[in-house]
Structure 1
């Protein structure tokens, strides 16, 4: 995120002169107040803290899926503008979309800011990881992105587009290899406190991660300033600064599949940089870095990890991807940690990002000794739950989220979807708070009965089967062993 985008213009100086008559003064005061109120009204109000569910698709205010994959965020005029990829079913480029929000939860679609018709070479292309910077000197918004030919990844080029307004149509300036020679794939940008612009991209078949200083107008590459992890095979970079320390967060290069994220630090973008150190778990909680957003408010600045759970990693396409947003924590000035949370709380007015503590539990059927299971570790909605040999997988763990009134949601650890009562069985669906996703939990002789709010029936292994893959259903509560569940962590 560009720090310069937060700059508030200096107030104009009104030079003293002869004092006007009192009536004129009163009119001037009234006019000044009217103007002041008008200016205040133009500034969007900051909302209270919002809860964001992790590992899900987001929807816009119009109810459509938010397609801002591989994206970045820029704060302008009290709004957060989120830019990202909107692709065709074959993953070729359709649009770079722009959304805006004041609370980071409620996203309003603004524009297809770059389209296939923006330039001839975009008609059949891959456009990935768009990032937008504001140049305070030129007053222009500059978008950098990774461009390919739409067939393979042999071009490895950076591309640039420019706009006079943050969410207007961006004029495509073309694509190139930095300094005329270096491959350029996964990409990010950063504006330093002194206004210097930087671009980071994966080079040499992703084996190098290179840091470039941009030209004064941010539309070209001025110099290669660092190649600190030569041969490291890194991609998905995110560069940010905190307290005079620069952090580079990246993933390994494993295609669409998630992997271990790592980070390094320096006191200047040009380095020297430390060696990479692990952060988070071995799959970044099923995600890959897209961006790190500083959220600044009255209580300070928090740092939000924004990751993509790519649809291609679970049998879909880019537009099926989910979002994983987590608070970054800094034990020391130069160290960073990342932990899973099923939900986060974001207060943009205060500048705080908090995690929700959750305990995940298995549900073991008394009669069979098998666990409630999401088959094949599926992340798709509509998948019917079964029982299966207990194996400790994330697809066999559930968070009993208290809703009040004695009801709970049962959210899967692997999918972030909720157990839902249907006429044909029990499926996982997007958590919506619907009555069909609300359950009662009753202890009985060391076991638990789980009742559906809609019908009052109990979670049941169909036919009291002891076999793997027997379906879970709801059925009239009868106290049978196939309706008794042992909860375990």
Structure 2
């Protein structure tokens, strides 16, 4: 018996139990029974997530809705040419273990979706019509001239959605990056970028949430996109990014006590690249102890030299110094407890790797986040491109994850030869990304690659900035000895 069934059986009549369970089943879809929640889990940032079948989770630009004991995550899945393939939906109780449920909307759902771009799908629930309503940004798949909003509906959260068409609000306004929001009074709202992304609009929706009823607020000329709207303690927060294509930028937020305004001036959130991410959604995680607010961001593959299909995620807890301000701090990992509502950052375990012969640090050249960017030695500083987080790889070996990029220290092309260059690359299961710390005395260690048995080495024992790191037969040289210096 599920927790919900047990609770209902104690507190309601048999008829009420049947009615309540029927309502929940109708909302969730056939064959789905709510189950008990999960304990604290750890989510690693700047990685791809995998579902319970081992497949990469493609739910980019999306949003999350909670129904019963489950969180449902909707997002973009694209074809190789970056056109629309499907709006995917996954579900989870703990926000780490994701089960693929359905392609809720596909190319076959409507003729105008056969070749199209569908971006930033968001789903909200209309309690009056008992319909789940999906809002999204729609383009024709060839250029970005349409700038239309699109709508689809379903009677079950993870069912097959019926496409209701696309339009420009009031047959007038462009509509690109988009989000949707339901206020405490049940009123629905849609937010989208307009006028070539120069403006940002808030629309109140019709009673059934399938069309716009009025234009509530305009930010004119501020050039903001990727909006995420949420409410905390009677204060509305609008978190957005700048418009720099795939490249990450400084996220900014504004606050108000009414959606119509007045809204505060834009304030910075996170660092200058928002830790390499762009706003996707802000999810309230409500539990028995507290309600946390989880920043969900996309780390777009083309923004770090990879493909769209290589895109990753950045999830971070928002912090609120005051009722009308927020802060976004970096953590390589976070913990989530959906039962208590506690979402917290995990303190970094990152270290500098300092070469004994030169006193210089292992460094990703130019702070690059690109795949195959070379690793060099450079004068030690505070940059995250000199910070490496050990991750257990089993058998006494670790992966070394660059804090600025989330990529692993890797011997290029799995080479076993002397002189093979060392780069950063997407973390995987390859033994060319697994290193053993072997004691070299005096607080220094040799770093031995598992696949080759060779040591991490500074080319020719150079002491110069920019000298390349390679693998070489272990020989006792101080240019193969490294100190783990805590950050």
Q: For the residues of structure 1 that align with 2:368 and 2:471, how far apart are their CA atoms? A: 18
Structure 2: tracts of 5 or more residues without a match? 1-6, 26-31
Match of 1:126 among 117, 126, 133: 117
Deviation at 1:186, TM superposition (A): 0.5
Q: For the residues of structure 1 that align with 2:302 and 2:152, how far apart are their CA atoms? A: 27
- Once the two structures are superposed, the pairs formed by residues 259-408 of structure 1 within 5 Å of their partners are 259-358=249-348, 360-368=350-358, 370-375=360-365, 377=367, 379=369, 383=372, 386-390=375-379, 392=381, 393-400=383-390
Deviation at 1:443, TM superposition (A): 6.7
Q: For the residues of structure 2 that align with 1:78 and 1:13, how far apart are their CA atoms? A: 19
Match of 1:440 among 437, 440, 450: 437
Change (3 A) 1:129 1:355: same
Q: For the residues of structure 2 that align with 1:433 and 1:351, how far apart are their CA atoms? A: 33
Q: For the residues of structure 1 that align with 2:300 and 2:8, how far apart are their CA atoms? A: 40
Secondary structure class of the residue paired with 1:206: coil
Check the 8 A contact 1:132/1:141 in 2, yes or no.
yes
Deviation at 1:470, TM superposition (A): 3.2
Moved more, 317-326 or 257-266: 317-326
Change (3 A) 1:456 1:151: closer
Deviation at 1:111, TM superposition (A): 1.0
> Cα deviations across residues 329-364 of structure 1 (Å, max 9, x unaligned)?
111111100011000111111111110111543323
- Once the two structures are superposed, the pairs formed by residues 145-164 of structure 1 within 5 Å of their partners are 145-164=136-155
Check the 8 A contact 2:204/2:212 in 1, yes or no.
yes
Is 2:162 the partner of 1:167?
no
Check the 8 A contact 1:384/1:471 in 2, yes or no.
no
Q: For the residues of structure 2 that align with 1:216 and 1:184, how far apart are their CA atoms? A: 20
> Cα deviations across residues 156-180 of structure 1 (Å, max 9, x unaligned)?
1100011111111111111111122
Q: For the residues of structure 2 that align with 1:62 and 1:295, how far apart are their CA atoms? A: 25
Check the 8 A contact 2:203/2:214 in 1, yes or no.
yes
> Which residue of the partner structure matches residue 38 of structure 2?
47
Q: How many residues align?
A: 461
> Which residue of the partner structure matches residue 244 of structure 1?
234
Is 2:83 the partner of 1:92?
yes
- Once the two structures are superposed, the pairs formed by residues 50-199 of structure 1 within 5 Å of their partners are 50-199=41-190
Q: For the residues of structure 2 that align with 1:385 and 1:282, how far apart are their CA atoms? A: 23
> Which residue of the partner structure matches residue 480 of structure 2?
483
Deviation at 1:267, TM superposition (A): 1.1
Deviation at 1:405, TM superposition (A): 9.9
> Cα deviations across residues 22-47 of structure 1 (Å, max 9, x unaligned)?
xxxxxx99x99xx99x99x9322211
Is 2:223 the partner of 1:233?
yes
Secondary structure class of the residue paired with 2:325: coil
Q: For the residues of structure 2 that align with 1:124 and 1:407, how far apart are their CA atoms? A: 47
Deviation at 1:155, TM superposition (A): 1.1
Check the 8 A contact 1:185/1:201 in 2, yes or no.
yes
> Cα deviations across residues 101-130 of structure 1 (Å, max 9, x unaligned)?
111111111111111111111111111100
Change (3 A) 1:427 1:387: closer
Deviation at 1:397, TM superposition (A): 2.2
Deviation at 1:390, TM superposition (A): 3.9
Change (3 A) 1:418 1:189: same
Q: For the residues of structure 2 that align with 1:49 and 1:340, how far apart are their CA atoms? A: 20
Check the 8 A contact 1:212/1:221 in 2, yes or no.
yes
Moved more, 281-290 or 85-94: 85-94
Change (3 A) 1:472 1:280: same
Q: Larger radius of gyration, structure 1 or 2? A: 1
Secondary structure class of the residue paired with 2:309: helix
> Which residue of the partner structure matches residue 28 of structure 2?
none
Deviation at 1:372, TM superposition (A): 2.3
Deviation at 1:376, TM superposition (A): 6.3
Deviation at 1:226, TM superposition (A): 0.9
> Which residue of the partner structure matches residue 19 of structure 1?
none
> Which residue of the partner structure matches residue 23 of structure 1?
none
Change (3 A) 1:317 1:452: closer
Deviation at 1:433, TM superposition (A): 8.1
Check the 8 A contact 1:91/1:317 in 2, yes or no.
no
> Which residue of the partner structure matches residue 204 of structure 2?
213
Q: For the residues of structure 1 that align with 2:351 and 2:438, how far apart are their CA atoms? A: 13
If the length of structure 1 is used for normalisation, what is the TM-score?
A: 0.85
